[in-house]
């Protein structure tokens, strides 16, 4: 859907329009996004309950490959520098079909001065493929994985 909408907007003369923006900067937000993508593709956990590291599996790789494939296609190459505000600014200017962000962005987007006010809705995050699961992650657990 993102590609189809983006192509239509580009053809209509909006050269800066993107299909999907998200937090791609190395941060807690990107970690949450990656965990959502991995879970949605059935990639399991990074570390299982029995303390076995299981992240290196075909479904997790498929999820991360999919996200990498968005960069420069439905997402701008610069998405890898976007924090929450970078993604929201593109979205709220009316230059993206879809955005992954946090709840605070709803109120700012709904503000009557916003270019997207009254023109958007909120739903669950997409599934990772036909057999995938919807997944959502909330940061703030203070767990870290070193770079």
Long-range CB contacts (< 8 A, 24+ apart) of 68-76?
70/19, 70/20, 71/24, 73/3, 73/19, 74/2, 74/3, 74/6, 74/18, 74/19, 74/20, 75/18, 75/19, 75/20, 75/21, 75/22, 75/24, 76/18, 76/21
70-86 average pLDDT score: 98
Enter the tokens of residue 47.
């570390």
Q: For residue 121, is pLDDT > 70?
A: yes
**Cβ–Cβ < 8 Å for 106, 121:** no
* Residue bearing the bigger pLDDT, 126 or 138: 126
> With a threshold of 0.95, does the pTM exceed it?
no
Go through the chain and tell me how many residues it has.
147
pLDDT at 141: 63
At 13-68, the pLDDT tens digits run 999 999 999 999 999 899 999 999 999 999 988 888 899 999 999 999 999 999 99
pLDDT at 112: 97
Q: Which domains does the chain have, with CATH numbers?
A: 2-11+20-110 (3.40.190.10)
Run of H or E including 19 = strand 18-21
pLDDT level of residue 140 (50, 70, 90 thresholds): low
pLDDT at 137: 86
**Cβ–Cβ < 8 Å for 40, 125:** yes
Q: For residue 119, is pLDDT > 90?
A: yes
pLDDT level of residue 146 (50, 70, 90 thresholds): low
């Amino acid at each position: 859907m993102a590609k189809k909408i983006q192509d239509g907007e580009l053809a209509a003369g909006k050269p800066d329009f993107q299909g999907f923006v998200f937090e791609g900067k190395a941060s807690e937000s990107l970690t949450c996004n990656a965990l959502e993508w991995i879970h949605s593709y059935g990639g399991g956990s990074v570390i299982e309950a029995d303390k076995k590291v299981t992240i290196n599996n075909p479904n997790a790789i498929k999820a991360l490959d999919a996200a990498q494939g968005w960069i420069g296609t439905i997402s701008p190459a610069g998405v890898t520098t976007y924090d929450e505000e970078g993604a929201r600014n593109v979205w709220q200017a009316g230059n993206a079909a879809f955005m992954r962000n946090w709840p605070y962005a709803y109120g700012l987007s709904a503000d009557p001065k916003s270019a997207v006010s009254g023109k958007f809705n909120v739903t669950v995050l997409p599934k990772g493929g036909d057999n995938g699961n919807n997944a959502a992650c909330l940061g703030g657990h203070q767990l870290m994985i070193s770079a």
